[in-house]
Amino acid sequence: MPTFKLNGAEVELVPQERDSFSWLASQVYRRIHEGPPLPAILTVFAHEGITTQGLAPTDHRIQAILWTLWQLGIGAATVEGEGTARQAKWERGQHENIDGKPVQDLFAEECLKDGRALACGLMVAAARKLRINGNDVDVKISNLELLTAQAAEVEKRRKDPSHDPAMAAAAYVAELLSGGSDQNDLRLRAAVEIAADLGIRSMLVDAPTRQLRIDGFNEQAALAAAFFQNAPPEQLKAALTRVQTLNRMAEDQSRMIAQQAAGAGPKAKVAQAMVSPGSAAPGSAASRGTPNGPSFKPRRRA
């Protein structure tokens, strides 16, 4: 078994159940955009667990934290100082970790019990962006109450339960933008998070006409979102299949629009480049049912 050096003491890492990492996810997920880098957050968690709460290094919570640090490529970490002067420091190890590994492989069943899936999911969630009209918008974490309320608004815009909710989420983002919302609007912030959780990577929005087109889907973000919703292994596979299917649809539609626009005048090109949420173009993600087309369920947070 590998070992991790915490505050100078060697701790043997032993296999854990997924529940331990689910607990850690509930503690860490909401903090990943609060300032300190992820290794610092995890190091302080482990330090406080042992020094303040009196947990043993073998406790499943400490083990989950150290496994996650290990999978991030870190082999040793320390906390120095007290109070506001406290600093977390860490050193990279020479061991194999998630660096450079295909994200899809890191959500396999065997990766759920050794921290690889959690480490990967946190890295993906921390770096998510949604491209709207060519501009990247950072995806921030909303509180559960706000997210639940905006998920209900998205579901209201899902006209047919057999259709994938991604188009309803995109339609809600477009609706908020057309109403003048900006990134200071918490409703838009939550709507963008929901859209990203459903795998949307890029979309075009014509605010005056409230028309939109989903340009592409992010397989990594969709997998991470399913993991944080505690989806079992078979549902993780279904989540990947769903977003791969939607990506193919989006790519097919983009090619069709490009071919149509190539032979049209300037005004027609603009019209052909957008799709109205209320009347989706044939072949678009909104106009077809998809495998296991899910309703969005906000993640539980501790």
DSSP state of 133: T
Calculate the dihedral angle through the C-alpha atoms of 299, 225, 248, 101, rounding to the nearest 10 degrees: -170
Query: What sign for the dihedral angle of Cα 289, 213, 195, 126?
Result: positive
**Is a pLDDT exceeding 70 seen at residue 79?**
yes
Q: Are 157 and 174 in contact (CB under 8 A)?
A: no
What pLDDT is recorded for position 101?
A: 94
- Amino acid occupying residue 63: Q
Ordered by start, the domain boundaries in the chain are: 3-109, 128-287
DSSP state of 13: -
pLDDT band at 162 (very low <50, low <70, confident <90, very high): confident
Give residue-wise pLDDT tens across range 103-156: 999 999 999 999 999 999 999 999 999 999 999 999 999 989 999 999 999 999
Closest CA to 214 of 157, 161, 170: 170
- Amino acid occupying residue 278: G
What pLDDT is recorded for position 16?
A: 94
What pLDDT is recorded for position 85?
A: 81
Residue 241, classified by CB atoms within 10 Å of its CB into exposed (0-12), middle (13-18) or buried (19+), is middle
Separation CA 146–CA 283 (nearest Å): 33
Average pLDDT value for the chain: 86
What pLDDT is recorded for position 290?
A: 38
**Is a pLDDT exceeding 60 seen at residue 235?**
yes
Average pLDDT over residues 243-264: 82
Give residue-wise pLDDT tens across range 179-200: 889 889 999 999 999 999 999 9
**Is a pLDDT exceeding 60 seen at residue 277?**
no
